[in-house]
Amino acid sequence: MAEISAALVKQLRDKTGAGMMECKRALEEAKGDLAEAEVVLRKKGIASAAKRQGRAARAGAIGTYIHPGNQLGVLIEVNCETDFVARTDGFQELVKDLAMQVAAADPKFLRREEVPADLLQKEKEIAGDRARNEGKPEKVIERIVEGRITKFYEEVCLYDQPFIKDNTLTIEQLIKTNISKMQENIAIARFVRFKVGETAAAAATEEAAQ
């Protein structure tokens, strides 16, 4: 196997934030392929993050994002375990990225568990009716509905959404990667998205329905 150069190890470390030895082992496993080594680190990071997710996360930061033009804004609370990590550049960057995610992707819920049962049932019925109207055989409709509900979750649940800066990662995977990198539990607590005119539009819709 070719020797893994220090420059290549540094390049992977700069890109991922992982330790030097972790980067070297990942590159060795990936036979020097930088992209594959990043995948190796991501998989290991997500696996190790699961061990930390049960720990209390009571520190953190409130992040904001105001879109140019001042017509759209986001507030988001992201928690970690200590004030020390909350003040780091890496954590602050994560909070900023998550605020931008909410602004761009407009999630309605944080996690799947928050989706109301009646809304989920309605989406399943719509997906099933659509499949039947497309002429799909009954025996495969259940599988089609499952796929479309997964897509629905990706649209409305923040943790399920593809990350706007790297759509190979979901927000949940992004958070797990940062848990591994920062060695602390990290969780999104809540968010709110404001758009100028939304309140007036909602009021007009409600008035028209009466």
pLDDT at 49: 58
CA distance 154 to 77: 21
Residue 200 has pLDDT above 70, yes or no: no
Q: Which residues of 187-209 are buried (b: 16+ CB within 10 A; e: fewer)?
A: bbeebebeeeeeeeeeeeeeeee
pLDDT at 71: 94
- Bigger pLDDT: 48 or 130? 130
* The CATH number, out of the four listed (2.60.40.1080, 1.10.8.10, 3.30.70.100, 1.20.120.450), of the domain defined by the range 6-49: 1.10.8.10
* Contact call for residues 101 and 155 (beta carbons, < 8 A): no
Q: Where are the domains of the chain?
A: 6-49, 59-111+157-209, 116-154
pLDDT at 154: 95
Which of the four pLDDT bands, split at 50, 70 and 90, describes residue 161?
A: very high
Question: Average pLDDT in the 28-48 region?
Answer: 78
pLDDT at 97: 97
Cβ atoms < 10 Å from Cβ of 93: 12
Question: Average pLDDT in the 177-181 region?
Answer: 84
Q: What are the residues whose beta carbons fall under 8 Å from the beta carbon of 135, sequence distance 6 or more? A: none
Question: Pairing relation of β-strands 162-163 and 166-170?
Answer: antiparallel
For domain 59-111+157-209, the CATH class is: alpha beta
SS (H, E, C) 45-111: HHHHHCCCCCCCCCEEEEEEEECCCCCEEEEEEEEECCHHHHCCHHHHHHHHHHHHHHHHHCCCECC
Question: Average pLDDT in the 75-81 region?
Answer: 96
Which of the four pLDDT bands, split at 50, 70 and 90, describes residue 209?
A: low
- Bigger pLDDT: 22 or 179? 179
pLDDT at 51: 60
What is the Cβ-side half-sphere exposure of residue 100, based on CA atoms within 13 angstroms? 12
Q: Any idea which fold 116-154 has?
A: GTP Cyclohydrolase I; Chain A, domain 1 (1.10.286)
pLDDT in tens, 42-57: 777 655 555 666 666 7
pLDDT at 3: 77
Q: Which amino acid is at 115?
A: V
Segment holding 178, helix H or strand E:
helix 171-182
Record the pTM: 0.72
